[in-house]
C-alpha cells in the first residue's frame, strides 16, 4: 500500500490504534501518552482510535470518556468494518499496540505489516515476537505512557520511519501458510507409514514370547 506524501519539512505524525477498547488492550495508556506528547510538541500529531468499548464496565467507559475529552489530539472513531481497514491504514503512518497483557499472535500487527506500517508496541509476549525492535517497529515498557510518549516523539522523524518501513517483511498469506501446514502433515504421514525395524534383541524377545504363548 502506498504511503501518504510529505512536504519537505513534514513529519510522520499520524498514529492509530486498532482493536477493542478495554483495560487490557492499553487504550488508556495510549491516550495518556498522547497527552504527554502534546504537552511537549504542542499538538503537532494525531492519534486515531478505531474500535468500540462495547461490553466494558461503566467505570471504564467513564474513564475512557474523561481521558478522550482531555486530549484534543486523540479521536475515537468507533468500530470499523473489515473491508474498511485499507482505507484507515492509508491515513496513518504508525500503528500503536499498547496492550498490558501478553497477547498471542496479534492480527493487528499482521495487518499493519501487510499495509507496510511500522508498529510501536509493548515489548512483551506475542507483540515482541512479531515486532523486531529497531527493525520494523519499536518497543516500549508495559503500561508506561511516558516511555510510549518518548517513542512516539522519536517516531516523528521521517528517516527513522523510512528505515523501519524498509525492514518490514510481508506477513505470511493464508494460502502459503496452509500449503506449509499441508506439507508438514504429509511428512508426518510418510514417517508414520514407514515400518520402524525393532532392534534384534527386542525382536528375539518378542519371538520368544510369541512361541511361549503358542506352546501354552
pLDDT of amino acid 213: 59
Q: Which residues pair with 146 in a beta bridge?
A: none
Is the CB of residue 94 less than 8 Å from the CB of residue 14? yes
pLDDT band at residue 190, thresholds of 50, 70 and 90? confident
Give domain 14-166's CATH number out of 3.40.50.10070, 2.60.420.10, 3.30.450.40, 3.40.50.2000: 3.40.50.2000
Q: Which residues pair with 162 in a beta bridge?
A: none
pLDDT of amino acid 8: 78
pLDDT in tens, 83-142: 999 999 999 999 999 999 999 989 999 999 999 999 999 999 999 999 999 999 999 999
* Dihedral, 115, 158, 98, 70 alpha carbons, nearest 10: -120
Mean pLDDT, the chain, whole residue set:
91
Is the CB of residue 95 less than 8 Å from the CB of residue 117? yes
DSSP annotation of 120 reads E
pLDDT of amino acid 16: 98
Give percent of the chain with pLDDT exceeding 90: 72
Q: Which of 86, 80, 130, 123 is nearest to 107 (CA)?
A: 130
Give percent of the chain with pLDDT exceeding 70: 89
* For residues 188-206, average pLDDT: 66
pLDDT in tens, 58-77: 999 999 999 999 999 999 99
Higher-scoring residue by pLDDT: 197, 54: 54
> pTM of the full predicted structure?
0.84
Is the CB of residue 136 less than 8 Å from the CB of residue 114? no
Amino acid at each position: 500500500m502506498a504511503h501518504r506524501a510529505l512536504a519537505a519539512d513534514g513529519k510522520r505524525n499520524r498514529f492509530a490504534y486498532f482493536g477493542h477498547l478495554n483495560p487490557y488492550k492499553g487504550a488508556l495508556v495510549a491516550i495518556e501518552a498522547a497527552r504527554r506528547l502534546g504537552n511537549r510538541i504542542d499538538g503537532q500529531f494525531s492519534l486515531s482510535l478505531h474500535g468500540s468499548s462495547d461490553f466494558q464496565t461503566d467505570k471504564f467507559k467513564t474513564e475512557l470518556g474523561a481521558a478522550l475529552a482531555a486530549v484534543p489530539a486523540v479521536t475515537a472513531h468507533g468500530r470499523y468494518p473489515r473491508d474498511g481497514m485499507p482505507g484507515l491504514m492509508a491515513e496513518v503512518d504508525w500503528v500503536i499496540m499498547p496492550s498490558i497483557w501478553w497477547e498471542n499472535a496479534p492480527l493487528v500487527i499482521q495487518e499493519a505489516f501487510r499495509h507496510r506500517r511500522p508498529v510501536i508496541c509493548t515489548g512483551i509476549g506475542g507483540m515482541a515476537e512479531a515486532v523486531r525492535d529497531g527493525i520494523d517497529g519499536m518497543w516500549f515498557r508495559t503500561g508506561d505512557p511516558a516511555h510510549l510518549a518518548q517513542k512516539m516523539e522519536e517516531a516523528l522523524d521521517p528517516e527513522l520511519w523510512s528505515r523501519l518501513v524498509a525492514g518490514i517483511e510481508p506477513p505470511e498469506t493464508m494460502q502459503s501458510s496452509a500449503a506449509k501446514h499441508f506439507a508438514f502433515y504429509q511428512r508426518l504421514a510418510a514417517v508414520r507409514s514407514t515400518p520402524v525395524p525393532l532392534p534384534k534383541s527386542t525382536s528375539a524377545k518378542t519371538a520368544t514370547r510369541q512361541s511361549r504363548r503358542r506352546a501354552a
